[in-house]
Structure 1
Amino acid sequence: MKFIYSIISLFILSSCVGGKDLNYTSLNSGEQITDATSTVLDHQPWDDLLKKHVDDKGFVDYKAFKKDHNALNKYLQYLNTNAPTKATSINEQFAYYINLYNAATVDLILENDMPASIKDISGPLGQVWLVEHVMINDKAYSLAAVEKNVLQKMGDPRIHFAINCASFSCPKLQNTAFTAANLNSLMDKAAAEFINSDKNDLSDVANPRLSKIFDWYKSDFTDTGVTIIEYINKYANSAILKDASISYKDYDWSLNKQ
């Protein structure tokens, strides 16, 4: 059983069903374009929905959101037909893919009648992350493809605090839309809020208990040459010890509903 699970996990990480032609490196030829004159997308409709249905703690009123499902679908269609190109600035690309991931996740929850957990939604190999639900240029991709083929390859581990998987242990869904203008400040805010929240327990500076996110995506946080502890201490209100013994908290996949 463990072997089968490992094979499935490797398949998810390496291939991302429905995402082979969605690749940040090929999209940008490895360049991080900073042209300030590139097209600015309008994320105000998403911002309005977030402020209406998401509280300051990141919990979602899905029942009320359901009444605005048409507005959400209209925004997702706008993103579908306004995908980034090589001429799109790096901050615009980040904002686009973060908002797309979060909006598509909310849409997935609404379309599946607000299950007790996102993991209750079936998908290829039993993985909801592989459901080809996200539309970009009229092609269907999975949430895994957006996260692993694009966002992770953009090289900023703060994306793990910005995207939300509709679960209690996830970083909270910000009730402000990401834009090119607020990207860095909002990602810093998301990182600080998550690291200092009850999703981590930093009270024992010698034996902190961290979110599994720091285990699952360890290489993303350490690729810049820092340790997990050094990364956390950039945002922690009280620094943990450099030689602290780290353990990880159980992950709660229950729906992040109000």
Structure 2
Amino acid sequence: MSFSQKNIHHRWNNDLKKYVSNNGNVNYKLWNKNKSNLDAYINLLSKFPPEDKSSKSHKISFWINAYNALTVKLILANYPLNSIKEINSPWKTKCFKSRGVNYSLDDIEHKILRKLNEPRIHFAINCASKSCPKLLNEAYTEKKLNNQLNEVTISFLNDNSKNELDENKSAISKIFLWYGSDFGSKKMMLDFISRYSKINIQRSKLNYLPYNWELNE
């Protein structure tokens, strides 16, 4: 196993355990006092990106971690603030360079992660907001990825502040509105939600909850 696969996410894992609670709240105030570990981690990511021959799980875990670390870096660079939306073009600004290619957060999400055909990534990437899926307080790894994606998907779908599920009428996250095509048809989306939630909503009528963009601290 290469260095990049085995050890690259160690720094990020340590920071997550130190600054992120089990329920996903982030202590940006404390993290902002010691950003050197985060900067070193992102620098390491830029030197060891996945190769074309890398496994799908390695690619997904790498780019989820990169997206989340870059989002935290963006928040810290503008802290204190009440919402990521106070930052000018947070998702379109180029913020990461690797092998001569500049990436924005949108590039990572739409041009890389979504093209890997794994809809559970939507519950792993974090936009630093209260309505987002929680920031998992451990790094994603190739070996643990499937279990980690299951964990965050189940957690998000069964959180009543993110999804109000009922057999007859449900109010779900706008993530399913914005990225519905990643889950297939409406029936496939309902099947997906029902598979990971405690409530079967396959015959439920749907509407969407307002999205809370307040900072997840």
What TM-score range do you get, normalising by the shorter chain? over 0.9
SS state at 2:79 partner? coil
Preserved CA contact (<8 Å) 1:80 1:138: no
Aligned length: 214
Percent identical pairs in the alignment equals 39
Question: Which residue of 1 is the match for residue 96 of structure 2?
Answer: 134
Distance 2:157 2:60 in 1: 21
Distance 2:193 2:20 in 1: 26
Question: Which residue of 2 is the match for residue 33 of structure 1?
Answer: none
Alignment of 1:189 onto 2:139: no
Question: Which residue of 2 is the match for residue 112 of structure 1?
Answer: 78
> Partner letter of residue 176 of structure 1?
E
Aligned residue among 153, 168, 171 for 2:133: 171
> Partner letter of residue 165 of structure 1?
C
Preserved CA contact (<8 Å) 2:167 2:203: no
SS state at 1:52 partner? helix
Preserved CA contact (<8 Å) 1:158 1:191: yes
1:227 deviates by 2.1
1:226 deviates by 5.0
> Partner letter of residue 249 of structure 1?
L
Preserved CA contact (<8 Å) 2:5 2:58: yes
Distance 1:183 1:210 in 2: 25
Alignment of 1:248 onto 2:213: no
Alignment of 1:230 onto 2:191: yes
Alignment of 1:214 onto 2:180: no
Distance 2:85 2:198 in 1: 32
Distance 1:183 1:192 in 2: 14
> Partner letter of residue 183 of structure 2?
F
Alignment of 1:40 onto 2:43: no
Distance 2:110 2:195 in 1: 24
The 5 A counterparts of 1:57-96 are: 57-96=23-62
Q: 1:181–1:138: structure 2 CA closer, same or farther, 3 Å change rule?
A: same
Give the TM-score, by structure 1 length: 0.80
Distance 1:178 1:151 in 2: 14
Distance 1:193 1:50 in 2: 18
Preserved CA contact (<8 Å) 1:53 1:64: yes
> Partner letter of residue 51 of structure 1?
K
1:56 deviates by 0.7
Alignment of 1:145 onto 2:110: no
Question: Which residue of 2 is the match for residue 4 of structure 1?
Answer: none
Give the TM-score, by structure 2 length: 0.94
Question: Which residue of 2 is the match for residue 56 of structure 1?
Answer: 22
RMSD across aligned positions (CA): 1.5
1:79 deviates by 0.2
Distance 1:112 1:221 in 2: 34
What are structure 1's unaligned runs of at least 5 residues?
1-36
> Partner letter of residue 90 of structure 1?
K
Distance 1:139 1:231 in 2: 35
